Chain A
Amino acid sequence: MASTSSQPQQINVTDLDLPQLADVRRQLEEELSHLSNSFAQLRQAQAKFRACIDNVGQVKPENKDKTILVPLTNSLYVPGKLSDHENVIVDVGTGYYVKKSRAQAAKHYESKVEYIRTNLEALQETIQKKQDNMNYLVNVMQMKLQEQAGKTAKA
């Protein structure tokens, strides 16, 4: 029973009886849902960064003298104009805000998007493996069920 939780294929899963198999399956399902949640959250974060890239694109010289509604608080907007159309301020984390040029800011967000993409791929692989594990487990469970049904029929 030592390493049943991670690699059922290596241990003789066929030796586990039904309740134990059900336990392992429940555990796998929990892990799977947790991983899928994380996957969804990463996707969301990636979408937000893509939106930031768009926004940076809108702070451009063509929009320089157009009137915009500037948010001052959550529900207060005041008409104004973009004063600085070459630079934006990016929150780089841990309380630091850096004034970058538009090109630098776009690069910054693009690298974030890329980083998340690689993480998403790794996560996708892990999810796939867990899914395979669970399928195998379910097969074994069904086999056992049939065996048991056969035995009780005979007895």
Chain B
Amino acid sequence: QERNPRGIPKAPFIADVDEYLGPTPDVETALKEFQAALAKYRYMDHNLAQRRRGLEEKIPDIKKTLSMVEFLQERREGKSSTDAGDDDLTDDDDLDDEDAEGPKKPLQTTFELNDTLYAEAELEDTDTVYLWLGANVMLSYKIPAAISLLGSKLEAAEASLQTVVEDLEFLREQITIMEVNTARVYNWDVKRRRELREKE
């Protein structure tokens, strides 16, 4: 039996019902098998749909977190280059435009304390960010490490999403094939019984 890359068995399309069922056609068993296969396909479909929904929620989150960390890093690089620039350059108009308030510019932000409650805070200048990994686990990372971790998480999630979508399409096809098979076998059986009755 063929399988797709993720191990989902392919449904055989029964072109000739007679040939498939053979000399002693056992229609009941065949139909039961088809129903069982259909139930398995539908169950997989349900699971994959759930996974897809979860991934589609997570991916924008990871993107936002990644862009925030990159922003923090740019700010730090902007500040450290002004400090270095003061030594080397006497004419730092470009840098002045970006850091008009001088080298020390803590970031003011409003953050969420609760669903309807926000407060203002000043972000310290630090090279460490804390990432919530889920399951009551939070780790601290230096900014470059955080960026590479988030980048790889994002890639993995997007690749997963792609395979899940492919699998869902594949499953759709297989479910249709199985339903068509069931209908054909049933119709063939009806025809056969009618023919048998007419012979008598």
**Interface presence of B126 (CB below 8 A):** yes
What is the number of contacts between chain A and chain B, taking CB atoms within 8 Å? 105
A residues less than 8 Å from B62 (CB atoms): 75
Say whether chain A's binding surface is mostly helix, strand, loop, or mixed.
strand
A residues less than 8 Å from B109 (CB atoms): 70, 72, 80
Provide the bound-state CA to CA distance between A97 and B116, in Å. 9
Provide the bound-state CA to CA distance between A72 and B121, in Å. 11
- How many residues does chain A have at the interface if contact means C-beta atoms less than 8 Å apart? 33
Stretch at the interface among B4-12, B26-34, B45-53, B130-138: B130-138
Provide the bound-state CA to CA distance between A67 and B115, in Å. 22
Which B52-88 residues have a C-beta within 8 angstroms of A? 61-62, 64-65, 68-69, 72
1/0 contact string of A89-106 vs chain B (CB within 8 Å): 111100001000000010
Partner of A73, one of B61, B114, B133: B61
**Interface presence of B91 (CB below 8 A):** no
**Contact status B111-A71, CB under 8 Å:** yes
Provide the bound-state CA to CA distance between A80 and B128, in Å. 11
Q: For this complex, into which size category does the number of interface residues on chain B fall?
A: 20 to 34
B residues less than 8 Å from A18 (CB atoms): none
B residues less than 8 Å from A52 (CB atoms): 113-117
Provide the bound-state CA to CA distance between A88 and B133, in Å. 29
B residues less than 8 Å from A78 (CB atoms): 72, 123-124, 126, 129-130
Sorted from nearest, which 3 A-B pairs have the closest CB atoms?
A84-B120, A91-B116, A89-B118
Interface contacts beyond A72-B111, A74-B64, A75-B62: sample of 17 additional A-B pairs, CB < 8 Å, sorted by A = A48-B114, A67-B124, A68-B121, A70-B109, A71-B112, A72-B109, A76-B69, A76-B131, A77-B131, A78-B72, A79-B124, A80-B122, A81-B122, A84-B120, A84-B121, A90-B116, A92-B116
